[in-house]
Amino acid sequence: MSLSTSGRTRPWRLRGRPLLYEVTLGGRPSEDATASQVPPELVSWHLDHWLTCARGTLLEMFAALGGSLPWSLTSLERSRNDRLVRERLARAFELGELVAFRVEETVGAWTWPEPEPLRPEPPAPRPAREEEAPFAEPAMQALALKRAAEQGVPFCEECEKRKRQREQEQKQKREAA
């Protein structure tokens, strides 16, 4: 367990690729009885990744093991210091000074709420009135139109009315003349 700046003891938690790891001093498992110990080789494999992503946590662990951290390092000194920190932590895991436990909690398993539709639902179709009802049989309608064309019968009543009106107007003009 680590000593935080407030003097409180707590385990360190680090994110691995698929899982969450909890590291303690001396191998005492956390309150979670389902936690299983992780082999030191696997933890050593994660150390390089953790040095870039969770550097502060690893430096806390290094300080808890008795290491001292120098201030204001140059980039060259920092890379050398990081290598020393990594080697010391890897040795601590091999010797059992630090023990990692796998916590049965997957990392990054998010659930997203169902998205709301971008467009509102279209209105329900209104019921058709009897005079607006479509022709029941399209094949029968096509047959009727073909027969009407063959016999010279007009297709549209409105067109037929206009045609008759024009004929009457022409007839009246002829009679008046």
What pLDDT score does 1 carry? 43
- Is pLDDT larger for residue 128 or for residue 70? 70
Q: Which two tokens stand for residue 21?
A: 């790891």
Mean pLDDT for all residues in the chain = 78
Q: What is the pLDDT of residues 59-102, one digit of tens each?
A: 888 988 888 877 888 888 888 888 899 999 999 998 888 988 88
* Residue closest to 101 by CA, chosen among 17, 27, 162, 18: 27
Residue 7 burial (CB < 10 Å; 0-12/13-18/19+)? exposed
- Is pLDDT larger for residue 101 or for residue 153? 101
pTM: 0.52
Residues 78, 81, 86: CA angle, nearest 5 degrees: 125
Q: What is the pLDDT of residues 106-123, one digit of tens each?
A: 555 566 677 776 777 778
pLDDT of 130 above 70: no
Residue 41, amino acid: E
The sheet carrying 98-103 orders its strands as 12-15, 20-25, 98-103, 36-37
- Is pLDDT larger for residue 47 or for residue 118? 47
Which band of pLDDT confidence, cut at 50, 70 and 90, is reported for residue 5? very low
What pLDDT score does 112 carry? 65
pLDDT of 168 above 90: yes
Element (H, E) at 118: none
